[in-house]
Chains A and B, each alone.
Chain A
């Protein structure tokens, strides 16, 4: 059994007389120990809301969460708040996108790191400070004892993100959720942070749920990749399988529309037309249909279902997918 099993997760905002808006619409995936699972999609696809729901960070009012999320056999959504608090930070931890706004600007870094150690590991005083310095050192922050006395604004962007990672791994969690951990950073700093995450997974066997819009980040890091569109998983596969044979027109189009550093120059990109606003409700058919080149009448008759898994757990939610035989024909031509 997997460490984290998310089954038919739905998240709806609004209700009680106000217009309902479904941000996540039946998302299922599993994350196992030492595994990296990616949730990839553009803004508004529901990837961040999923992570907040798993951590229990969504507001209680105005949000309805459906489905199950089992962490180590216990359903996160029916758990008591105190049990959830014990779990959060010690067993499950999260790394946020914007390190500056995730750290308290008026509290020194040391207090923020030791707080977690005091809450979950019952450490106090000098012992906690020593451990905090050790944690900062482990994530590659030079001169950790001095840094502990400093405030977040005194650190650089990369160092703040490292500090956040240090806080997330303070209790050696079994599950890490990283929500766009490198989006706010420059590429050379991004490389450093990704290397740090890789080490964590490989050496500690931490399960990592990687949430990102950057397909490049996913290619070298994730075991299993889920592509989200408008709140549903449209394609799910192992990384080689997904990048080698993207079958959903959205995933296919996305890969064709990214300028690549190693691609020959001069060829125009193949953009996906329209924008994420051009979509229809999943209940009426495929939400991607208005932007899809392979659109046909069948796309508008009810919600398309995820196909049976093929090789490497490859699943796709499309009635007219980009098939491999079509691809094979292209190659010799």
Chain B
């Protein structure tokens, strides 16, 4: 049995009108029937764009928002039905790390007070002395100095504040930590520190995470299983690697293709699926498949009338699309959307210098993880010490570069003006 099981969770917010009598004129279907399982010691990543309901879902697990329908079962207890006091005590086992580290820490409380508040509420530690010892050991775990105890949130940098937020969750020794956009407010160089910290803590303490984020690359890095949400429901769920290797839902495909990769070599080969339009309003979701209004593969009739259920397509890969197999097999035609190159067509690609090109080409030959083949391929080029051999290798490399990009000037000593590659005709 899984540690955390969500079954048919719905969170609907009423839209009220009127001054004297609040009439409910409709609902915002923020979360509309989500079922998922999180295994102990694993990380479940929830991705989706703003407004897809991922944060509401995370908050509903802690019952920070009321669940309209469905159940949230942690270790055999249904949280959706727990009455107030029991729920409060149960929350020790479920903690949350929030997005905005400054906004979620009281500026007038020092760190010791912030961290011990939850411990007092849950009766952890006999006296403040004991609690302080515990807090110190946790601070050490998250990489903060113990003199942080008497300091205030504003004295810390963004990354350190997020560490405090993580420490606040950890002091209660929870089973599950829900991280809502844990790194999106941080600078890129600091993001990696917090991601690594979450990884280390999981290994050391056997924690279970539910990570909610909009950044697919971050989620993929830390999650074992990823669920992709669109307009209140899961459209695809798969083990992290399987989802990346073969996204089956059209929305996941588009989402993945839209994430830019910081590597020109990869970007040059990638194509982007451009979705048309914007996210529909969750107060008035489209009929049938929620995605059919923007789906590049939307088919007449069925997509707009019948709502697809999440179904298993093998290997723990679940997808909510009527035509997932047909799209994968290429038997269904694209009806809308546009596929464009990830790179700007007229981008000025000054060829890299000769000795650099020699080292460069093997990287183009294969994906970065194929270290061994890369080493073999580069062996001739990089190991040579004699000058003549180096020249030979460089020439070889240059030929390869030319072969791959025929329209690119290969000589590096051409005038800058001549390097401007004419923008090719727009392929639409």
Contact = CB atoms under 8 A, between A and B. Distances in A.
Nearest to A208: B344
Contacts of A195: 272, 274, 340
Contact of A240 (B220, B265, B383): B265
Contacts of B240: 265
Contacts of A273: 193
Interface in B245-285: 254-268, 272, 274-275, 277-279
B278 A189 contact: yes
A258 B217 contact: yes
Contacts of A223: 347-348
B349 A238 contact: yes
A254 B189 contact: yes
Contacts of A218: 262
Interface string A293-304: 000000000000
Interface in A184-241: 186-192, 194-195, 198-199, 201-203, 213-224, 238-241
B370 to A, nearest CB: 10
Interface in A18-50: 34-36, 42-43
With most chain A CB atoms within 10 A of its CB, the pick from B215, B342, B368 is B342
A24 B23 CA distance: 56
B71 to A, nearest CB: 30
B188 A240 contact: no
Interface residues of A, number: 75
A246 to B, nearest CB: 10
Contacts of B353: 310-312
B244 A261 contact: yes
Contacts of B263: 219, 243, 260, 262
Contacts of B378: 331-332
Interface string B322-363: 000000000000000000101111111111110110011011
B98 to A, nearest CB: 19
Given A243-B264, A311-B352, A259 B187 contact: no
Interface residues of B, number: 80
A327 interface: yes
B192 A269 contact: yes
Nearest to A140: B276
B140 interface: no
A188 B257 CA distance: 9
A272 interface: yes
A263 interface: yes
Contact of B342 (A186, A199, A220): A220
Contact of A259 (B218, B258, B272, B359): B218
A84 interface: no
Contacts of B367: 262
Interface in B209-255: 214-218, 220-222, 240-241, 244, 254-255
Nearest to A35: B348
Contact of B195 (A245, A259, A312): A259
Interface of B: 49-50, 157-160, 187-193, 195-196, 199, 214-218, 220-222, 240-241, 244, 254-268, 272, 274-275, 277-279, 340, 342-353, 355-356, 359-360, 362-363, 367-369, 374-375, 378-379, 382-383, 412, 420, 423, 426
Interface of A: 34-36, 42-43, 142, 156-159, 186-192, 194-195, 198-199, 201-203, 213-224, 238-241, 243-245, 253-255, 257-265, 268-273, 275-277, 310-313, 324, 327-329, 331-333
